Amino acid sequence: MTSLATQTRDTTFLCAEGVSHVYPDGVQAIADVSLSLAPGSFTALVGPSGVGKSTLLRILGGLLKPSSGAVSLRSSPPHLSPDPVGIVFQRDNLMPWRTAYDNVCLPLEVQGVRAPERVQSLLELVGLDGFAHSYPSQLSGGMAQRVALARALVHRPELLLLDEPFGALDALTRERMGQELMRIWHAMPVTVFMVTHSITEAVRLADEVLVMTGYPGRITEHVVVNLPRPRELSLEATTAFQKLVMDIRAAIEEAGV
């Protein structure tokens, strides 16, 4: 659980400096955002709707070019030949014409890699090896989102971006998916950046929680979560957990949104 202060250049996996973004219609989404992610860390970004959280996520993933500022991955030049990243959205966005198995295969097909054993083991990891030949229409919301997670990891990306990944699920499934995600993250060497509306979810899952507020959005608070792992759901009952949640809530409300 590294904090920003103790990080040196070579323990930084991803670094964003002074990133701002203005959409073509003139709306400024985010302003002067700087952050760094340690390799293998889990960072959550919380904040009110519309502050530009998803915009920042897309910029970090190289899907959107920032209007100013730069994002660099490791020591590679900024977005010269960006490596593929893994991405999971609020909606599962599975291709309805592909089976679960073929959906997970997609990133490998794009890269021209044939690795059926990887697809198989990821389906096992998300607990869906029995549903390999089911179509998305035959899967429940939680199952479909697990397939989406497997798809985001099958090409072994170094960066996994999660944009409100459990936002469309019911509360119970959401909690269970959070625990699953923890388990999968422990099993794979991947740096996770997650956007969420749920402060408790952020605290339960992340090493560090970033708070974004204001219009345009700025990062106004870094909260390091020094809770022991593995974290069980019962952790939420502890005072340490609740204090962190309260602190983050206060940071959001302080901004007056």
22-30, 93-101, 235-243, 245-253 -> range binding another protein (CB under 8 A): 93-101
Calpha distance 28→49 (Å, rounded): 15
Q: Give min distance, CB of 138 to another protein, in A.
A: 6
Q: Give min distance, CB of 169 to another protein, in A.
A: 17
Concatenate the DSSP letters of all residues of 85-129 into one string: -EEE-SS----TTS-HHHHHHHHHHHHT---HHHHHHHHHHTT-G
Given the structure tokens 């502890």, which residue do they identify?
238
Residue 113 in the binding site for another protein (CB under 8 A): no
Judged by CB under 8 A, which of 6, 11, 77, 109 binds another protein?
109
Q: Give min distance, CB of 87 to another protein, in A.
A: 4
- The answer to whether 202 and 46 are in contact (CB under 8 A) is yes
Residue 134 in the binding site for another protein (CB under 8 A): yes
- The answer to whether 257 and 197 are in contact (CB under 8 A) is no
Residue 118 in the binding site for another protein (CB under 8 A): no
Q: What does the chain come to in residues?
A: 257
Judged by CB under 8 A, which of 47, 69, 107, 217 binds another protein?
107
**Residue 103 burial (C-beta neighbours within 10 Å; 0-12, 13-18, 19+):** buried
Closer Cβ to another protein, 190 or 248, answer by number:
190
Q: Give min distance, CB of 24 to another protein, in A.
A: 12
Judged by CB under 8 A, which of 87, 184, 203, 252 binds another protein?
87
Residue 96 in the binding site for another protein (CB under 8 A): yes
State the Cα torsion 173-219-221-17 to the nearest 10°.
Answer: 110
Q: Give min distance, CB of 153 to another protein, in A.
A: 12
Secondary structure percentages of the chain, helix, strand, coil, to 5: 40, 25, 40
Judged by CB under 8 A, which of 28, 72, 93, 173 binds another protein?
93
Judged by CB under 8 A, which of 8, 75, 137, 239 binds another protein?
137
Phi-psi category of residue 32: left, alpha or beta, with phi > 0 → left and psi -120 to 50 → alpha: left
Closer Cβ to another protein, 58 or 146, answer by number:
58
What values do phi and psi take at 96, rounded to 5? Answer: -65, -20
Q: How many residues bind another protein (CB under 8 A)?
A: 29
Residue 215 in the binding site for another protein (CB under 8 A): no
Residue 158 in the binding site for another protein (CB under 8 A): no
